Every structure is written in C-alpha cells, then in structure tokens.
Structure 1
Amino acid sequence: MLSEHRARLLAVGPQPARILIVSDAWRPQVNGVVRTLQTLAAELAAMGHVVEVVGPDRFRTLPCPTYPDIRLSLLPKRRLGRLIEAFAPDALHIATEGPLGQAARSWALRRGCAFTTAFHTRFPEYVQARTGLSPRWLYAWLRRFHDAGQGVMVATASLREELADRGFRNIRAWSRGVDLELFRPAPAEEWGLPRPVFAYVGRVAVEKNIRAFLDLDLPGSKVVVGGGPQLSALRRHYPGVRFTGPRHGEALARAYAGSDVFVFPSLTDTFGLVILEALACGTPVAAYDVTGPKDILAAAEGRIGAVDSDLRRAALRALGADRAACRTHAERFGWRACAEAFLSHLVPLGGH
C-alpha cells in the first residue's frame, strides 16, 4: 500500500503536494533538461500539485567555462536555503549536480532531510570532450553526490545498467515524453534542397559529435537546426550544409517534419528528447547504437529508423523506414505518464 505521504503526492485533490525542484539548467537555457522540467512542472500543476523550480535566474551568475551561454549560480547556498524554507516543500528534487544542486544537497544533509536526484547529463564525457581528462574521477564524485539521496532517476534501461556497474545505488526508472500536439507530421518545411534531406536538431556543441554527421558521405542535403558554441566554426568549415540557427515551436516542428531522416550523432546523451520529437513528426531516426537511441528505438528498430556502429549505414537504412510507424511509436511516450512516474519516486522531506 502507498504511504499516506506518497498517496498525497499522487492525489489530485484539495490538498496538493508542494514539490520543489532545484536545477542548474533552467530558462533562458534551451536544452533537453529545461524542456523536461518545464513540461513536468506544467503536468504536475495540471494534476493539482504546487510546483516551484529554482534555477540560476534567481541568483548572481557567471558564464560556464567553454560554454558562456550557460550561466552558473555564484555562491547560492545562503539564498537557496532561504528559498527552500520559504516554499516549505513536501518533497525536494535535485535535478542537476551544479552549484545549485550542490547547495540544495548540502542544505538537505545538514537538516537530515530526504531528497531525490536525477542523472540527466554525462558531465564526465562532456569534460573529456573539452579537456581530454579521464571521466573516471568525475563518475566517482557523481556517485557520492547521488548516493546521498533516496533515489536517482534515470531515463533508460541501458543507463540504469551502466550506472549500476559504476556503483550507483537506488536507481529509479523515469522515462520522458513528447508534445504530440506541437510535434506532428504536417505542416512540413519546404527546404528547397536536393532530396533526401538529412537533418540534425539540437545544441551545436562539441559533445554532440555533430562533425561525425557532417563528414558522412550521404546523398541529397544536410541541415543543422540549433545554436551553440560550435555554430560559427561549423558554418565556416561546412559551407555546403544549411545551418538555420535556433528554431522553436511551430518552426521547429516543421523542420523535423520536412526532413527525410533525423540524424542523432551524439555518443553522450542519456536519452535524447529530440529523437521523440522527430518521431512524432513522422521522421525516422538514424543514430549510433548507444544509450538513448537504442532504448527508444529498440521495440521497432528498422521500421522507425536504425541504430548502428556505422552512422552512415544507419542513415541510409533509415531512409526506408515507415513514417506512419514513427508517429505511432512516439505516441507511446506521454508527459502525463512521465509526471506520474516522477511522483512515484518522490520521498517526503522528513524521511524515506
């Protein structure tokens, strides 16, 4: 049976739960973590809960080294403690491991409060891509960070297995969703380019491994949709590629729908919301056989796209996928189910 507190968290009634989420990734950043938390907060509110997200926008910040578009909170501990106490949450969730996440963890441990965390981002691999440093010591630090909580939420089965092998404990499955009203097969962008159009959508940064896509020998045309620190350099180096810059809302959905294959070259993502968005628009996906793509595509690989150790081979195979099947597969991933799973993993602030 559910505990009284857990039943309250799941209930939609006159006594909503007060849920505080602390995240170093928040507006005006544009990435998968922010989109997940924005949509999760909206779903929880629609279910009757009171949700607040505390992000860097409430603090003095400084630019993240090598990625100045991301702002990191500067000495947030005292102010964050006041914000937590003023909100008086029933449950505390720490979404990220940056300065705010560390400050929230410290606040909870000092007071003997329980909390949950999430593993959204492979920071060790991101650091390795930028500096060449081995990720081993960072994984040891991340393990200590997350093991202090009562559960670390992860998006895929393969990531759960990997983290368990690295010694992480209390791992809990928490998948993702997609906005099926916004991301749909029509209307579609008319690129005015030779077909087929192979597209990448997402942050234009070194950890996304975009050059692996742009260097492929493929028929037709290539399109890159998104912004980031690598955009200027890639534009100069690949003059034959169409770079659109960032797109949002309907313009983003049209970009997906107007592409013949969505190519996802990342080797470091923990899920890949953009994969679901492409599938919801009826666009098949080509990716490496790694965590995220292989989990999402596993049930219908071949019909909705392809994963392979050879990205070119995956891209060419994906051309033969069934666009209607892509949409059907995406419809399995609803945000309400995502919110319900999140609620089921929360713990009362005062105990386990």
Structure 2
Amino acid sequence: MQPGVPTRLLIISDAWFPQVNGVVRTLSVVVDHLRAGGDTVEVIGPERFPTIATPGYAEIRLALLPRRRLARLMDAFRPDAVHIATEGPLGWAARAICLRRGWRFTTSFHTRFPDYVHARTKVPKAWSWALMRHFHRPSSAVLVATPSLAREMEERGFHNLAPWSRGVDLERFKPQPRAAWDGLPRPVFLYAGRIAVEKNIEAFLALDLPGSKAVVGDGPQRAALQAKYPRAHFTGRLENGKLAAAYAGADVFVFPSRTDTFGLVLLEALAAGTPVAAFPVTGPIDVIGTAPQPVGALDEDLRAACLKALEADPAACRRYAEGWSWAACAARFRETLTPAMPPAAGAAPLRPAAA
C-alpha cells in the first residue's frame, strides 16, 4: 500500500483472541502498530460466528459455515485491502468470496498443517501440501517468516512468496534477577509454549541432562507428559510478568520443535538473556543460526546442543534480540498489501459493492 496514506485493512483469521499462540501474538502486535500509524484495521475471527471445537484442541474454536455472515461483515467494513491469515474455515470462506468478486488479497503461511495432520492422523503429507498450494495459489503475495521456509515452499511449488519476519517486545522480555526457579537444582533447562505432540516436547524431557527441566504452558499432551516425567517441573500457563521471569531465570531455553515456521519464543528467551538449544531446522536455523556470535547451539543431538548453549554469553543474547523489531515487522506487512481492486484513474479508493 502507498506509504503515508491511511488504508482500511481487513484481516481474516481463524486464529484470534481468546486463543493464545504465535499467530495471534503476531497479528495483534502488527494490528496495534498499524492502527498507531493511522490505518483503520478490522480483524474478523471465529468469535463472531457459531463455532465447533477443533479435534484434539477443545480450546480452539472453528467458525461453523461462516461464508454468508462473513460476506456481510466484509461489505460492512468496505476494505481497501484484504489479508487472509489462515487456512481454516474463515480463510477458505474469505478466499471464495474474494475470488467470486474479483478482489485481490494476500495470505500468510504460519503453520505447517501437513506436518501436524500427519503427526495426528498419518494422512500423507503430500496430500495436505497440495491443499495448501491450492489455497495460496491465487494470493498476490504469500508471506513467510524465514528464508529457509521460503526455500522449502518454493521447492514444493509455491509462488509469490514474500519475506515477513517477526519481532519481540523488549520491554516485556528482558534480563532480570534469576529468582524464578529458586529451589530447583541448576542448570535449569526450560521449555515454554504449547504442550502438544507436534511440539516434540518429549525429545527434550527424555534427555539425560544435569540440573532441572521446567515446562511452562498447557495443552492436550500435558497430563500424559507430566505423568511420564514426574521429575520435570510443570507450571501450566504463566501470565502477568511471570512468563518473562521464567525465561530470565532459566539457564537454557530448549526448543525441540521440528515443525514451527518461526518460534516467537526463541526471540523472547534471547531478549531475556537466555541462550537457546534446538535442532537445526526452520526457525532455529534462521534465528539462532544467523547470529553474529553464539547465542545458543543447534545440533541433531539435542543434549549436546543443551550443554553447548550453557557456554553462550547472556549479554550477547540480549544484544542480538534487540535487532528484531515489531515496528519493522508491521511496516513490512503493510508493504506487501495489495489493493483489493485497483481504482480507475482519478477514482476514490475501493469501496466494494454488496455481493
């Protein structure tokens, strides 16, 4: 969109409040920045529709048959630009509406659904990747978080890819006294995030490590893992500053996921001065692997990565995190937007007619 000219932006996302995840966090921060810059931004999420629970994720609700109501909401807002953030029921409905009307739109690729679906159902990944290609094919730009993910998607036949990195709240996540884990033997190895099979948390909990293991968060796999690994310290979800203190109080942040497209928690840990241990996969490669000096360790031997990360300089972790800006993330997002319909010469910006 034209720099400095306010726009009416409509974002449609199956992931929105009250959900708590990286997609919601990214979109909500970007929306705040865009609004502060003068844009009018509307987010349409599942909370405006009748919903059903996502299988295996009862707390995540999916809009039920949203297309007709969604079309009315889109007309009521009269957007200049449309961004479809997710490939769920709302995303597919918005895609169909835009294609029917001849509106252009952008999309973003946040979640490796083919890997998640395969982990739960053993549906061949190739089938799900074909569906993802079909969903994103009409998009004017497909926003992806990392260079390694972009390369993989290009190899899988995706086109019109545009880089869109992430940021971190440096005021919220920062070094502080390491009292959060007082009473636990050091070193403290921490995982924070959703506790679900696709996060591969058991690869961390099964490691033979000195000190203590701590797990912050909740999810469908928590009860089973807590019963299987009683020596690990499970806190549940932490809010109101306690999460930031948990990062700052740990010796190493362990990120065992092989399926995340980025991993905001990586930057949050680094901002708190805590080095990261992870597998050398998309997300960690792009965040940890590009640092000018060690801020953690990547290794297919996750135990070796955990022990190596103990040697990283906490001050270097913080300095590196300071280079990741939410303001730059929001600006890049805005740059990728495409007018839903190009105005005729001398015409006012798009004000869509009713379907």
So what's the TM-score if we normalise by structure 2?
0.95
2:297/2:309 contact within 8 Å kept: yes
Which letter does structure 2 place at the counterpart of 1:270? T
Partners of 2:35 and 2:48 in 1: CA distance: 21
Which letter does structure 2 place at the counterpart of 1:226? G
Q: Which residue of 2 aligns with 1:63?
A: 53
Q: Which residue of 2 aligns with 1:223?
A: 214
Q: Which secondary structure does the structure 2 equivalent of 1:19 belong to?
A: strand
1:302 Cα deviation after fit: 6.1
Q: Which secondary structure does the structure 2 equivalent of 1:300 belong to?
A: coil
2:293/2:316 contact within 8 Å kept: no
1:69 Cα deviation after fit: 1.3
Q: Which moved more, 1:325-334 or 1:293-302?
A: 293-302
1:300 Cα deviation after fit: 2.4
**Per-residue Cα deviation, 1:12-34 (whole angstroms, up to 9, x for no partner):** xxx52111110000111110000
Which letter does structure 2 place at the counterpart of 1:156? T
Partners of 1:20 and 1:127 in 2: CA distance: 28
Which letter does structure 1 place at the counterpart of 2:65? L
**Per-residue Cα deviation, 1:74-122 (whole angstroms, up to 9, x for no partner):** 0000011111111111110000000000000001000000000000000
1:234 Cα deviation after fit: 1.0
Map of 1:1-352 to 2, 5 A cutoff?
Answer: 6-7=1-2, 10-11=3-4, 16-191=6-181, 192-300=183-291, 303-351=294-342
1:298 Cα deviation after fit: 1.8
1:248 Cα deviation after fit: 2.1
The structure with more helix, counted as a fraction of residues: 1
Partners of 1:120 and 1:63 in 2: CA distance: 20
* Percent identical: 60
Flag structure 1 segments of 5+ consecutive residues without an equivalent. Answer: 1-5
Flag structure 2 segments of 5+ consecutive residues without an equivalent. Answer: 344-355
Partners of 1:255 and 1:224 in 2: CA distance: 10
User: Superposition RMSD on alpha carbons, in Å?
Assistant: 1.1
Partners of 1:249 and 1:42 in 2: CA distance: 19
Q: Which residue of 2 aligns with 1:3?
A: none
Residues 187, 56 of structure 1: alpha-carbon distance in 2 compared, 3 angstrom cutoff = farther
Which letter does structure 1 place at the counterpart of 2:9? I
Partners of 2:273 and 2:6 in 1: CA distance: 37
Q: Which secondary structure does the structure 2 equivalent of 1:63 belong to?
A: strand
Partners of 2:178 and 2:47 in 1: CA distance: 35
Q: Which secondary structure does the structure 1 equivalent of 2:173 belong to?
A: coil
Which letter does structure 2 place at the counterpart of 1:166? R
1:285/1:304 contact within 8 Å kept: yes
Q: Which secondary structure does the structure 1 equivalent of 2:213 belong to?
A: strand
Residues 238, 91 of structure 1: alpha-carbon distance in 2 compared, 3 angstrom cutoff = same
1:301/1:307 contact within 8 Å kept: no
1:351 Cα deviation after fit: 4.1
1:154/1:173 contact within 8 Å kept: yes
1:279/1:285 contact within 8 Å kept: yes
1:163 Cα deviation after fit: 0.2
